[in-house]
């Protein structure tokens, strides 16, 4: 065999061996690529984009991009389903689980129609009607001789309450008697001169002079009489003044200026009283004043003529009625209250000055259009952050929505809702605080179980 034939003999097996190795390498590469694709596909499913007309390198790159897009798409799909499958949630909604719903005490009701200020409660105190109180005193210095009326006694107008002795009054009475005597003298002289003048016995100038003296004496007597009345003597007492009588001119009687009862008696026999003292008070207590301290928020609802019902602590089972006749134009700067006065009839005398009372003012008549405002229990309104609101049922049992509202006046456990809901709307009237806690816990709804 020549060399050429020998080379041909060994070339054929070599080519076959190379071909076999090449085929084996291709199968391994193909298997590796398939395994790689299978591994990535099993780790995260992805939607492949179609990239027709690209070479192998481009196709491999597309496959890698498709895996990343598949992973993002999967995350996005999970985000669209919301937290634990709830979808895009309303941040003001809360969903209770069946177990939570059974454990919480939640009640549903309707918003009432009215105004929180239809009835205004306020503390009050009873006082005597100042227009029916008479303060009695000597109006000049005097000494008490005896007291004829005691505390709590009913007295009539003109009845003597106490007897006093006053030197100053004696002097005034003496001066009055002097003026009265002069008047009587001048009056008689003037009457005589008029007769004489008619007979032309007295000249006109003498008559004029007599008349002037009479008018002067008349004026002096009138002035002294008026002065005695200023000291508490009435016309009958002044007319009764006589010189040389059994009763000394210094004697002074304090008398009741009106019908009533003795509410104060601050004097005893032998006591000296000053001109400015009023030791006896006579009060007509058949009518009283109820002085009410109402909160300033009640001002828009207060009007004259409104009825006031009230109870007093000593008589809790008795109810009394009064009518507002005055509202103070000024607030108490410290307590932020307004003084309101009601007139109360007290024919039986059951009410006494100084009694504390609980007043209930009927402001319904002054509410006007506000009578249709929604009213809800105070506990139904909860504050979350800067917002006030109530919870409304939202679909299936255990689902609720926080509804922001604008509140108004509050009274007797109820609050006005000016905006947000209307009278008759359904809401959570009990258990709103628990729903607030569920809604605000971790910034997630109660359905998350956090």
Chunked into runs of 10 residues, the chain (450 residues) has average pLDDT values of 47 46 45 44 41 42 39 36 48 87 90 77 95 94 96 94 95 94 94 89 90 95 93 87 80 93 95 95 96 91 93 92 96 94 95 95 60 84 94 89 90 85 94 91 46
Cβ–Cβ < 8 Å for 125, 356:
yes
Sequential DSSP letters for 15-65 = HHHHHHHHHHHHHHHHHHHHHHHHHHHHHS--PPPP-TT--HHHHHHHHHH
Cα–chain center distance at 335: 11
Give SS3 for 309: strand
User: Distance between CA 450 and CA 442 in Å, rounded?
Assistant: 7
Question: How much is the CA Rg of the chain, to the nearest whole Å?
Answer: 53
pLDDT at 364: 64
Cβ–Cβ < 8 Å for 423, 405:
no
- Phi and psi (nearest 5°) for 56? -60, -40
pLDDT at 200: 85
pLDDT at 145: 96
Cβ–Cβ < 8 Å for 321, 342:
no
Structure tokens at 439: 């809604």
pLDDT at 315: 92
pLDDT at 89: 61
Give SS3 for 378: helix
pLDDT at 49: 41
**DSSP structural state of residue 210:** H
């Amino acid at each position: 065999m020549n060399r050429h034939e020998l080379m041909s003999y060994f070339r054929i097996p070599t080519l076959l061996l190379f071909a076999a190795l090449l085929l084996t390498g291709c199968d391994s590469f193909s298997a590796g690529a398939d395994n790689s694709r299978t591994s990535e596909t099993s780790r995260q499913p992805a939607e492949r984009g179609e990239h027709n007309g690209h070479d192998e390198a481009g196709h491999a790159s597309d496959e890698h991009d498709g895996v990343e897009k598949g992973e993002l798409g999967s995350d996005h799909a999970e985000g669209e389903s919301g937290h634990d499958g709830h979808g895009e949630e309303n941040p003001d909604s809360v969903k209770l689980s069946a177990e939570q719903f059974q454990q919480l005490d939640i009640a549903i009701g309707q918003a009432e129609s009215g105004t929180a200020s239809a009835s205004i409660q306020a503390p009050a105190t009873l006082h005597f009607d100042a227009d029916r109180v008479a303060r009695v005193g000597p109006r000049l210095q005097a000494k008490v001789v005896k007291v004829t009326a005691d505390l709590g006694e009913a007295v009539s107008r003109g009845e003597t309450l106490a007897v006093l002795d006053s030197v100053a009054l004696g002097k005034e009475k003496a001066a009055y008697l002097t003026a009265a005597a002069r008047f009587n003298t001048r009056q008689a002289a003037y009457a005589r001169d008029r007769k004489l003048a008619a007979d032309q016995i007295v000249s006109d100038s003498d008559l004029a002079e007599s008349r002037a003296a009479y008018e002067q004496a008349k004026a002096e007597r009138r002035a002294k009489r008026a002065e005695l009345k200023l000291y508490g003597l009435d016309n009958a007492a002044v007319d009764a003044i006589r010189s040389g009588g059994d009763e000394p001119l210094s004697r002074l009687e304090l008398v009741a200026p009106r019908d009533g009862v003795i509410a104060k008696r601050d004097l005893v026999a032998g006591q000296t009283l000053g001109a400015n003292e009023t030791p006896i008070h006579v009060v007509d207590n058949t009518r009283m004043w109820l002085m009410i301290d109402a909160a300033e928020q009640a001002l828009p609802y207060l009007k004259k003529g409104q009825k006031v019902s009230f109870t007093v602590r000593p008589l809790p089972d008795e109810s009394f009625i009064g009518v507002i006749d005055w509202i103070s134009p000024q607030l108490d700067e410290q307590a932020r209250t307004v003084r309101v006065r009601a007139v109360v009839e007290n024919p039986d005398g059951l009410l006494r000055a100084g009694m504390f009372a609980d007043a209930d003012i009927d402001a319904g008549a002054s509410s006007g259009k506000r009578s249709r405002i929604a009213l809800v229990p105070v506990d139904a309104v909860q504050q979350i952050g800067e917002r006030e609101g109530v919870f409304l049922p939202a679909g299936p049992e255990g689902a609720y929505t926080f509804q922001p509202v604008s509140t108004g006046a509050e009274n007797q456990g109820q609050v006005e809702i000016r905006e947000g809901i209307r009278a008759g709307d359904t809401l959570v009237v009990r258990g709103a605080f628990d729903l607030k806690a569920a809604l605000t816990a971790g910034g997630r709804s109660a359905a998350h179980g956090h």
